[in-house]
Amino acid sequence: MCYALYTLRMHETPPATGVPSSIFPAPSLLAQWERTETQQVHAEESSNDESPEPRTSRSRRRFKASNMSFVEMVEMVDILKRAHYDSKHGPYLNPDVRKAKIMTKVVKSLHRNFGVGRSKDQLRKRWSDLKLRKYNQYRRMKRVL
């Protein structure tokens, strides 16, 4: 045992008054020192390891929500209108799957043309906002198309 550890062990903190030391022993400085030492070692090991970011499945990938440019929204509206995204008519056996496929096309097109990664949920919300809340902007986009 090295001299520093020996001196730390010699200077243990005295037990609190009125509390039986056999039931609640006071923590020694050595134990505290060992804890901080192991924490530092683990911190250094974890900082030295250059492990890649944890991989997430494609369906759970998160994209930072940022404002869409007008041109991006025009592209989205164009694809959704051409594909009749909101169409209630037609013999669609599984309309949810159909809408998911259309939205996948929008995601790929925006990524290819603008280099922007957007999730399907973000685009669904934007589409709904355009139709319900920002109808004037939606009309401008339809005029452009």
Q: Tell me how far CA of residue 109 lies from CA of 43, 61, 73, 96, 114, in angstroms.
A: 43, 18, 12, 20, 8
Counting residues of the chain whose pLDDT is more than 70, the rounded percentage is: 55
What tens digit of pLDDT does each residue of 44-74 get? 555 554 545 555 555 566 666 778 899 999 9
Residue 108 pLDDT: 95
Per-residue pLDDT at 15: 54
Between CA 142 and CA 81 the distance in angstroms is 9
Q: What is the pLDDT of residue 38?
A: 55
What is the pLDDT at residue 16? 56
The answer to whether 102 and 96 are in contact (CB under 8 A) is no
pLDDT at 109 over 90: yes
**DSSP summary character for residue 14:** P
CA torsion angle 131 132 138 142 (round to 10): 40
> In Å, how far from its chain's centre is CA 81?
31
pLDDT at 87: 84
Higher pLDDT, 145 or 21: 145
Residue 125: both structure tokens together: 């919300």
Going by C-beta distance under 8 Å and a sequence separation of 6 or more, which residues neighbour residue 71? 114
The pTM for the full model equals 0.55
Q: pLDDT tens digits for 127-143?
A: 999 999 998 999 999 89
**In the structure encoding, which two tokens stand for residue 85, read together?**
């995204």
Degrees (nearest 5) of the Cα angle 130, 59, 104? 50
